[in-house]
Amino acid sequence: MMQKQTLAVLLSLTCLLTGCAGQDSPGEIPEETVLEAAGLAAEFKSTLMAALKEGLADGPGQAIGACSIRAPELAAEMSVDGVGIGRTALRLRNPVNAPEPWLEPLLKEYLEAGPGAAPRAVRIDDATVGYVEPLYVGKPCLACHGEIIAEEVQVQIAEMYPDDNSVGFREGDFRGLLWVTLGG
């Protein structure tokens, strides 16, 4: 009993000091903000998937170019007017996609949660809301992130991303997060 109370006091103190950064505070995040973030995430995903499919139609060797150029380009195009958008992962291909501090605990939670976890909105600070959607490995992803990778793809990955740590995945594995920030 005593311990529980102490914990509660400690938690509320921590919240006062940190503003509960990275914690869920659903009451404080307006629904329209969550919907706006979800809309941006959907737009990012469908645009990137279209580029990936187009590239894969010419073979995974071609698609790497589409993906390595298009993903950062799209993130930059959409990161305007107080919006931030991008992808991150625990096992990275491109070190540029390393997680911001608010994303680190979420990555671990989604990894532990297993497949099918729901998107989440969190308050990063007074002015900024973060939104994340988990990305799982589907069949088309295996050509570049799976256990067996074609030689021409391996060669390109090794050249472009010498520290690549994002192969060896299986279908259904948690691959990373698509994130959106609003208002920052």
User: Which residues bind to ligand HEC, rule: CB under 6 A?
Assistant: 52, 60, 63-64, 67-68, 71-72, 87-89, 92-94, 96-97, 135, 137-138, 140-141, 143-145, 166, 175-176
Q: Cβ distance 184 to 84 under 8 Å?
A: yes
Whose Cβ is closer to ligand HEC: residue 29's or residue 110's?
110
For residues 82 and 128, what is the distance between their CA atoms, to the nearest angstrom?
9
Smallest separation, CB 175 to ligand HEC (Å): 4
For residues 147 and 166, what is the distance between their CA atoms, to the nearest angstrom?
10
Distances (CA, A) of 69 to 63, 66, 76, 78, 124: 10, 6, 11, 15, 29
Smallest separation, CB 86 to ligand HEC (Å): 8
Whose Cβ is closer to ligand HEC: residue 78's or residue 144's?
144
Whose Cβ is closer to ligand HEC: residue 157's or residue 182's?
157
Smallest separation, CB 157 to ligand HEC (Å): 7
Smallest separation, CB 152 to ligand HEC (Å): 11
Which two tokens mark 41?
Answer: 């995430």
132 CB neighbour count, 10 Å cutoff: 25
